Structure 1
């Protein structure tokens, strides 16, 4: 089973009880908790910045069935509907965050700076390692933080004290970052051994980004880890593993999940080091890993079908890997791809990203437990 698998089963044993108790006690306390929400990240949280950036309108995420569940048409979100940050905004009683690059938007309640392809590290890092051609970096973490600074007059243009109060009553969602950084060596065929070498620099970049936001006035932040790479059809379609390399219950690739687990362990350690340096700041770790593992091992708990990792929207690839419903030449939104009848029965939307239903479960777990090292909304 491996280290990650054993730990995950232990987590699963207590998660249900924690969720029931904490969520019930905290329910109803989210509305009005924050004046604003600020979001940074990649395609897991992009609400339209890539499209607003002037990317070719033929981009797959600009086509149906993206957005079919909500709002009924494509928005640039890499899902059938709402993302985690959208569910958070609704729970707080805030409007869905406008993408920061959409002109004439109201940023009175914050903005979404996330953009598809974003990395924790800047492009020169990859270029120095001969990976510039495989990185599609439209806005690394520090670039997004600069976008935040540039928009500051739209959030607060009065006294420093009033700005400090505004940010102190806002939630900053910093990530997920790291997934695209690791994709650079992985998609270039360099393997996990090379990807592990990137890990210290990626963790440091995320930590530095958190500190920069704290310096700007952030007082409550949630910093998500990465998802279990070995459970996603895009990787399962790409990898050839020995029979014993797959989880017997999940069908996920163990060594890739272990890799993701190690990243998250290092990220949590980095956040633990930041907390004593900033005693007046609340820094929360947001868990993407545990819920996806639960979607695989206990799908009925969330209303999902019990099956091997399978994209709701896609097309079968090779005969041997047809069950994953992922084909690099007919990805979701492209000719030849189709969507399943009911996305609420699937956790994987397009083999890379999640469905609205899955994002909703994760958002609830961040808000009330157990998918965060401390719930955003405390019960007491």
Structure 2
């Protein structure tokens, strides 16, 4: 069974070409497409529906190793962003409210998803990839035009590489471009697009000795993504693309190891020797009860498990995303 390695590395900074600080933008809705970095409870909902016990990610006692269906110990980056954009509003998982409201925040993201239409995650569960998630959004629109005042986040790619789906960035970037173009054709105009942080820094990748290869793969992906976004900006009239550069800040992490630590993951500190760092992949029934609200002493631990960042890091991502939206050409 292939292991999912959903990655996020520390800090984030955001930019678009020739940025100038502007007033905080106002969006009346926020729709998110992606993987476990943006899933606010969709995988939890579908595994509960299938009566998988414990549901994934294990979020209830006696297996409370994750926070309320997030693949972390707290809210994720896009939640932190939306709270700042809409006065502490929530980002609802799509499966809990399949009829999309005209305003508000909805996450279509599924943990374990790739950039395509459909893929299998560990345990045999099939989840919609980003292109599949957009088809779900198209379906619930039911022929209506997408909200042009909404913000649309597309954050994907890591699982394509880390789950061994492909080693060709052109395939993944093509899917991201198609996702943006499809949303644009439906009426979307405002896009938040993060690149990939250095996948080679992920604890599981480091343990397996693949750091250099995955770093090179990340660099190739990001270069092709930046070029594709530039072309879309030039070609699609009225589009706004806010690009978030996670790779640069993940590199800056390497010179700031007194404040942040990649290893060990927080779960290894809180539940040593229990196998908690990858229990949701190997055997969810062995996931232990963990105090997900526990404060850990500095330096800040970047990862909650072998793959997913802590909510502290997600908060930094959310702040950086907000800064990207305050910039304009």
- TM-score of the pair, normalised by structure 2: 0.77
Task: Provide the C-alpha distance between the structure 2 equivalents of 1:143 and 1:268, rounded to a whole number of angstroms.
Answer: 23
Tell me which residue corresponds to 2:79. Answer: 86
Task: Provide the C-alpha distance between the structure 1 equivalents of 2:218 and 2:141, rounded to a whole number of angstroms.
Answer: 34
Kindly state the Cα deviation for residue 62 of structure 1 after the two structures are TM-superposed: 2.8
Q: Which structure carries more relative contact order (alpha carbon 8 Å, separation 6+)?
A: 2
Task: Provide the C-alpha distance between the structure 1 equivalents of 2:125 and 2:158, rounded to a whole number of angstroms.
Answer: 12
Q: In 2, are the aligned partners of 1:99 and 1:111 still within 8 Å (CA)?
A: yes
Which of 151, 160, 165 is the aligned partner of 1:181? 160
Q: In 2, are the aligned partners of 1:119 and 1:137 still within 8 Å (CA)?
A: no
Tell me which residue corresponds to 1:169. Answer: 149
RMSD (Å), alpha carbons:
3.5
Q: In 2, are the aligned partners of 1:43 and 1:115 still within 8 Å (CA)?
A: yes
1:144 maps onto 2:133 in alignment? yes
Tell me which residue corresponds to 2:31. Answer: 38
Q: In 2, are the aligned partners of 1:224 and 1:288 still within 8 Å (CA)?
A: yes
Tell me which residue corresponds to 1:97. Answer: 91
Kindly state the Cα deviation for residue 93 of structure 1 after the two structures are TM-superposed: 1.8
Q: How does 1:250-329 map to 2 (within 5 A)?
A: 253-299=211-257, 304-305=259-260, 307-314=261-268, 326=277
Q: In 2, are the aligned partners of 1:313 and 1:350 still within 8 Å (CA)?
A: yes
Which of 35, 40, 65 is the aligned partner of 1:47? 40
Question: Which is richer in helix?
Answer: 1
Q: Deviations over 1:102-138 (max 9, x none)?
A: 0487733141100111111234xx8xxxx99998540
Q: Deviations over 1:149-174 (max 9, x none)?
A: 22226xxx9xx7xx56xx22111001
Task: Provide the C-alpha distance between the structure 2 equivalents of 1:259 and 1:178, rounded to a whole number of angstroms.
Answer: 11
Task: Provide the C-alpha distance between the structure 2 equivalents of 1:135 and 1:263, rounded to a whole number of angstroms.
Answer: 28
Task: Provide the C-alpha distance between the structure 1 equivalents of 2:288 and 2:57, rounded to a whole number of angstroms.
Answer: 15
**Runs of at least 5 residues in structure 2 that lack an aligned partner in the other structure:** 1-10
Tell me which residue corresponds to 2:58. Answer: 62
Tell me which residue corresponds to 1:115. Answer: 110
Kindly state the Cα deviation for residue 183 of structure 1 after the two structures are TM-superposed: 2.4
Kindly state the Cα deviation for residue 180 of structure 1 after the two structures are TM-superposed: 1.4
Secondary structure at the counterpart of residue 152 of structure 2:
strand
- TM-score of the pair, normalised by structure 1: 0.68
Equivalenced residues, count: 299
Q: Deviations over 1:349-377 (max 9, x none)?
A: 11211111111112222221xxxxxx211
Q: In 2, are the aligned partners of 1:225 and 1:287 still within 8 Å (CA)?
A: yes
Task: Provide the C-alpha distance between the structure 2 equivalents of 1:327 and 1:111, rounded to a whole number of angstroms.
Answer: 28
Kindly state the Cα deviation for residue 311 of structure 1 after the two structures are TM-superposed: 0.9
Secondary structure at the counterpart of residue 151 of structure 2:
strand
1:367 maps onto 2:314 in alignment? no
Task: Provide the C-alpha distance between the structure 1 equivalents of 2:109 and 2:263, rounded to a whole number of angstroms.
Answer: 26
Tell me which residue corresponds to 2:304. Answer: 349
Tell me which residue corresponds to 2:170. Answer: 200
Secondary structure at the counterpart of residue 223 of structure 2:
helix
Q: Deviations over 1:261-298 (max 9, x none)?
A: 21111111111111111131011222232333333432
Task: Provide the C-alpha distance between the structure 2 equivalents of 1:365 and 1:272, rounded to a whole number of angstroms.
Answer: 21
Larger radius of gyration: 1
Secondary structure at the counterpart of residue 193 of structure 2:
strand
Task: Provide the C-alpha distance between the structure 1 equivalents of 2:197 and 2:125, rounded to a whole number of angstroms.
Answer: 20
Q: Quick one: structure 1 residues 270 and 135, their matched pair in 2 at CA, closer, same or farther if it must change by over 3 Å?
A: farther
Task: Provide the C-alpha distance between the structure 2 equivalents of 1:40 and 1:358, rounded to a whole number of angstroms.
Answer: 20
